[in-house]
Amino acid sequence: MMRISISVVVVCPVLAFAGRTFASDMPLTFNKHVAPILFDHCAECHRPNEIGPFSLLSYQDAKKRARQLANVTDRRIMPPWKPHDEWGDFQNARKLTDSQIAVFQNWLDAGTPEGEAHDLPPLPRFKDGWKLGEPDLVLTMPKAFDVPADGPDIYRCFVIPSTLTDNRFVSAVEFRPGNRRVVHHALFYSDAWKQGRRKLGPDPDAGFSVKEGLGGIIPSSDLGSWTPGSTPRLLPEGVGIPLQKSSDILMQVHYHPSGKPETDQSTVAVYFQKHAVARMLVPVPLTNFKLSIPAGAQRHRVTASFTMPVDVKVLGIQPHMHLLGREVKVEAVLPDGQRLPMIRIDDWNFNWQDRYVYREMIALPKGTRVECEAIYDNSTANPLNPHQPPRDVRWGEATADEMLLCAVYVITERRGDDVPLLLKMAAIPGLARQWYFESPRRVGSSTRSQK
């Protein structure tokens, strides 16, 4: 787990650092000041055989990139953490304090000294194998997929039978990319009605191509996602995501060509809830399918909202836009009119999306309206605009199209009609169908009938 453990506070004429003090005219060194920050916040990705393009575990690694480290941390490009500090308190926040950021520039200005060997902290230890322990189910792509040397990004969906003989509830998924050089991110869904199989071509093990998403498939349930540096997490005890027996798992992988021919054969591990499940995780989508962004518009505003029909607790949130997206914010308007900030991102980046989990779940009473506002730049001033000259852009699954989608992950007591009502109003027909198939009065039974 990434954590903030180093702080610098100016107390003239001395600096206090992690409980120790040193004279203000003493230079910062790699061993004493830089390495602890790199080990805590960067090494998860920047180490051998990980997603980072280079390692940052040694003095020599950091010294030759000292100017780059000062630059990208000062601009808050790295570590990649987009949410605004005052809009949501999230787990595993990959962010540095202002004092930590200053360390890199001060170290560069001091001439990048290495420091005393005894000041160097131990190298971080990363757990071998699966981070969440021994999985209950391990599913691997049927065969390796060939990724060309260049060309546009590839979205590929693979169909993997789960072989489950009983209905289960998922607590977490953990992804292991087969080739980190080309796997950009991955999404996981269950398909109880075998829709994915109907899209397979002559070679079913090769999956099928999608522009984005699942190519029109309505999944039975959303099992999770993986992005570089993301941390797998178990759901709270008693909360689960339903996975029907004999379901297929749909693994949608986004590939980015590396400049040479590559292959990938990725694996996903599934962890089930070990105890009785009383509540299910429901992704409530804030969407606007009528989205239309005029050519040339530099700050085009699009909104979406949803009113909770029952009391819920919000576990996490996941905004989603494409290349024209610039800003997004979500607020909850409580029945008494109080506004509760949930997430805000002022410099949206399509390449750094995540599912953000709150440290403490947020209770929203019945009648709360959750509002999402997004700003898009469809002008020539946007260097990421896929259309030059700009053209009108509407909702679509291709990266060159646009979306406004924010999933708000909530739980509610699994009683009466609360969850089916929530799903129905959220307009997720696949999940509503899943709920009715999984009768709450028969949890644990392997012989359920669809209503």
Q: Which two tokens stand for residue 432?
A: 């509503």
The confidence score (pLDDT) of residue 152 equals 87
Rounded CA separation 52/330 (Å): 30
Which of 315, 162, 309, 187 lies closest to 239 in space, CA to CA?
Answer: 315
Q: Which two tokens stand for residue 386?
A: 């896929």
Q: Rounded to the nearest 10 degrees, how much is the dihedral formed by the CA atoms of 239, 245, 246, 247?
A: -30
Number of residues that make up the chain:
451
Q: Which two tokens stand for residue 22?
A: 């040193």
Rounded CA separation 315/281 (Å): 8
Using the Cα atoms of residue 334, residue 346, residue 38 and residue 225 in order, give the sign of their dihedral. Answer: positive
Instruction: Say which amino acid occupies 1.
Output: M
The confidence score (pLDDT) of residue 256 equals 86
Extract the residue ranges of the chain whose pLDDT is less than 50: 1-24, 416, 427-451
Q: How far from 258 is each of 145, 158, 340, 353, CA to CA, in Å?
A: 14, 21, 42, 20
The confidence score (pLDDT) of residue 446 equals 30
Which domains does the chain show, CATH number per domain? Answer: 8-119 (no CATH), 137-272 (2.60.120), 279-442 (2.60.120.230)
Which of 405, 439, 394, 399 lies closest to 420 in space, CA to CA?
Answer: 439
The confidence score (pLDDT) of residue 139 equals 96
Radius of gyration of the chain (CA): 23
Q: What is the largest CA-CA distance in the chain?
A: 75
Evaluate whether 365 touches 334 at the Cβ level (below 8 Å). Answer: yes
Is the pTM higher than 0.85? The answer reads no
Position of tokens 């959750």?
Answer: 370
Rounded CA separation 229/138 (Å): 21
Q: Which two tokens stand for residue 10?
A: 């100016």
Evaluate whether 220 touches 193 at the Cβ level (below 8 Å). Answer: yes
